[in-house]
Structure 1
Amino acid sequence: MVADEYSRSSSPIPRVCFLNQYLGVWGRFWQHLYHRIALACNNDPFNIFVWGTTAVEYVVYWGVGGLYSLPDLTGRPAFLRRYKVQPGTNDPLSFWGFLKCVAVVNFNQLLSVPVLCGIYHLMVARGADFSQHIPDFSTIIIHLLVFILLNEILFYYSHRLLHHRLIYRHIHKIHHTWQSPVSITASYDHPVEHLLSNVVPIMAGPLLMGSHPFTIWLWVVIAVVYTLAHHSGYHLPLMPSPQFHDYHHLKFNECYGVLGILDDLHGTDHKFRQSVNFQNHRTFYSLNPPVAASSHKNRLQ
């Protein structure tokens, strides 16, 4: 039925030139998938942007975050404990603490919906791309690079602002109640912080570039998976290293950014670079964990 409806549309499934040229069938696959989602949203740009983005964020956050949380809640599989950045912490994870985190994060995610509604109208005024055709591969890459750079800038400075002594205890202290974070604590924060330091840095790039919803969804997946890994407490093979942000939770006044570019520029990673955590701060490709108990050693320093 979907294929029939699509064939009756004003244009056939487009050949997304650059994407199809280099990725072949994947370009057609993503185009067809996007078209099916657009049909489910009645081809309404508002529904596609607001509810589509909300659904992508929610499914990825709780799908990936749930997988990360299982070992902390159950202790199984036991071999994953060898990958803990702060050994012995959240062993086991408090069930009531887990439920409180779930409640706070869901409230923040619900709060994001009206914010996305406002951003949608800004996107329309900006002349954003809401066409049926997903962008070509080169456009997606360029937009993602802008998103990453802008996110690093906005997150770093908003995060440092939240650590100001006149602001911290009223807002950011909630997030830092988890000195040894777990994945789903990524959005365990005050609503003001959630909007200022989570939603705005992620959505500023798409608004600036007038990006297509498909590109925005891809960006949301990357951003959410990355921040969940950073808060997971596990330094797993093939996954992004959580050492940088875990050190921030452990030491409080270092490592404010995402990529570490501005921390290097402003010298807010000096102690981190002298720590065992920095030596382990890389993606590794074997089953052998990084140096054991690295954060525990730093905690004793």
Structure 2
Amino acid sequence: MLGEFEDESSSSGGELTPTRKNNSHPQNAQQNPSILSSLRSVLIVLSTALICFAAARNSITWHCQRFWGASGDFWQAQWDKFLDTVGEDPFYLWVYGTFILSFGVYWLFGGIYTFMDMTNKPAAIRRYKIQPGTNEPVDNRKLLKVIWYVLLNQVVVGIPSSMLMYWAMKWRGYPALRELPTFHWVLYELAVHILTEEAAFYYSHRFLHSRYLYKYIHKQHHEWTAPIAVTAIYCNPIEHIFSNLLPPFLGVFIMGSHVATAWLWFTLAILSTLNAHSGYHLPFFPSPEAHDFHHLKFNNCFGVLGVLDRLHGTDTSFRQTRAYVRHIMMLSFIPPREAFPEPNTCKHKLGKR
């Protein structure tokens, strides 16, 4: 240190001012190569990753194209066989085909849930009850009443509604029956159907909760504060038309969908509503917690996806509950109530004392 002060003083007229000028060059020389080396390494890693991503993307795209093509050929062949068997009358396909499909899907999967509700078997499934202790087993008299109204809605209301649907599609125009749409187009249409149903169901459902309509129309559906699967369309016929049938059909009408696409969409919609009303939060199934909470409290969670509920603030109470924490698809076999148990309020109160 003294050497540095002496050298600087001799060159500046004896004034002592510390400096490390002579030592700064080696440090800068060492830092610059280090930064350049790091940048070079980062660029090499990024460029390698991009090349690998591009190669993988091309490979995945190629395999997907082959899969879609092969799968498309398979389903087209099956569709041709189906039409060769049942005929190509669009009226029969849109009306009776839609009725048979929706009726069969509803009671096949709804029947499985109903068996579980009536017998409490398998016992392990009861661990996934959203409201434990309810409908264990279900009251048979109440169940028969539900079945009667559901059959009434499906036959007396459903078939004439399917006829109106066919005439609307005939006026709108629909694609030729023989040629199935591509998978990519089906996926696009399904996205439109889902979004359209979300809007139509949310606003029609919320309207049914108005004081003018709830008592006379929608109250019947809310007799079940702990719903079971087959109560999905247990409702007044007017509600069934405007809240259960019309919202799923709107997207089909807007897009001018192929009848096969409509059938696929109606199947998914039926499975969704059966699950939402089932009272079970099963692993690997979409969470029904929000709609179950709606039946319990009446004034929250009017939609299907929850998007419009968040936008309009009609899920505020739900988001303050433990049910909201459990409102996820469970990717393990741990029951949601065990994975996310209710807080122990007794301990909290004792702590306050």
Give the fraction of aligned pairs with identical amino acids, expressed as a percent.
44
Structure 2 partner of 1:126? 172
- How do 1:106-255 residues align onto structure 2 when only pairs under 5 Å count? 106-110=151-155, 111-255=157-301
Kept in 1, the 8 Å contact 2:129–2:281? The answer is yes
How many positions carry a matched residue from both structures? 280
Structure 1 residues 290 and 94 mapped into 2: Cα distance closer, same or farther (>3 Å)? same
Structure 1 residues 45 and 296 mapped into 2: Cα distance closer, same or farther (>3 Å)? farther
- How do 1:55-74 residues align onto structure 2 when only pairs under 5 Å count? 55-74=100-119
Q: In structure 1, which of residues 50, 56, 79 is the aligned counterpart of residue 124 of structure 2?
A: 79
Structure 1 residues 293 and 176 mapped into 2: Cα distance closer, same or farther (>3 Å)? farther
Q: How far has the Cα of 1:42 moved from its partner?
A: 1.7
Structure 1 partner of 2:78? 33
User: Residue type matched to 2:323 in 1?
Assistant: N
Kept in 2, the 8 Å contact 1:87–1:293? The answer is no
Kept in 1, the 8 Å contact 2:114–2:230? The answer is yes
User: Residue type matched to 1:258 in 2?
Assistant: V
Structure number with higher relative contact order (C-alpha < 8 Å, ≥ 6 residues apart): 1
Computing the radius of gyration from Cα coordinates, the structure with the larger value is 2
Q: How far has the Cα of 1:131 moved from its partner?
A: 2.4
Superimposed CA distance per residue, residues 200-259 of structure 1 (whole angstroms, 9 cap, x where no aligned partner): 001111111110011001101110101100000000011111101000000100000000
Deviates more, 1:30-39 or 1:124-133: 30-39
Distance 1:287 1:271 in 2: 28
Q: Secondary structure of the residue that 2:71 maps to in structure 1?
A: helix
Q: Secondary structure of the residue that 2:239 maps to in structure 1?
A: helix
Q: How far has the Cα of 1:294 moved from its partner?
A: 7.9
Q: How far has the Cα of 1:146 moved from its partner?
A: 0.7
Distance 1:273 1:190 in 2: 30
Kept in 2, the 8 Å contact 1:89–1:180? The answer is yes
Q: In structure 2, which of residues 143, 152, 156 is the aligned counterpart of residue 98 of structure 1?
A: 143
Kept in 2, the 8 Å contact 1:123–1:210? The answer is yes
- Structure 2 residue 131 is the aligned partner of structure 1 residue 54: no
Distance 1:161 1:191 in 2: 16
Distance 2:239 2:66 in 1: 42
Superimposed CA distance per residue, residues 96-148 of structure 1 (whole angstroms, 9 cap, x where no aligned partner): 21111111111101111111111111111111113201100111011111100
Distance 2:244 2:78 in 1: 28
Kept in 2, the 8 Å contact 1:230–1:246? The answer is yes
Q: How far has the Cα of 1:263 moved from its partner?
A: 0.3
Structure 1 residues 249 and 162 mapped into 2: Cα distance closer, same or farther (>3 Å)? same
Q: How far has the Cα of 1:38 moved from its partner?
A: 2.2
Kept in 2, the 8 Å contact 1:65–1:184? The answer is yes
Q: How far has the Cα of 1:75 moved from its partner?
A: 1.1
Structure 1 residues 260 and 287 mapped into 2: Cα distance closer, same or farther (>3 Å)? same
Q: How far has the Cα of 1:33 moved from its partner?
A: 2.7
- Structure 2 residue 315 is the aligned partner of structure 1 residue 289: no
Distance 2:99 2:271 in 1: 15
User: Residue type matched to 1:27 in 2?
Assistant: G
Q: Secondary structure of the residue that 1:291 maps to in structure 2?
A: helix
Q: Secondary structure of the residue that 2:137 maps to in structure 1?
A: coil
Distance 1:86 1:162 in 2: 25
Q: Secondary structure of the residue that 1:26 maps to in structure 2?
A: helix
Structure 1 partner of 2:31? none
Kept in 2, the 8 Å contact 1:172–1:190? The answer is yes
Q: Which runs of 5+ in 2 are unaligned?
A: 1-62, 344-353
Query: Structure 2-normalised TM-score?
Result: 0.76
Distance 1:38 1:194 in 2: 30
Kept in 1, the 8 Å contact 2:177–2:259? The answer is no
Kept in 1, the 8 Å contact 2:88–2:177? The answer is no
Distance 2:261 2:66 in 1: 18
Q: How far has the Cα of 1:295 moved from its partner?
A: 10
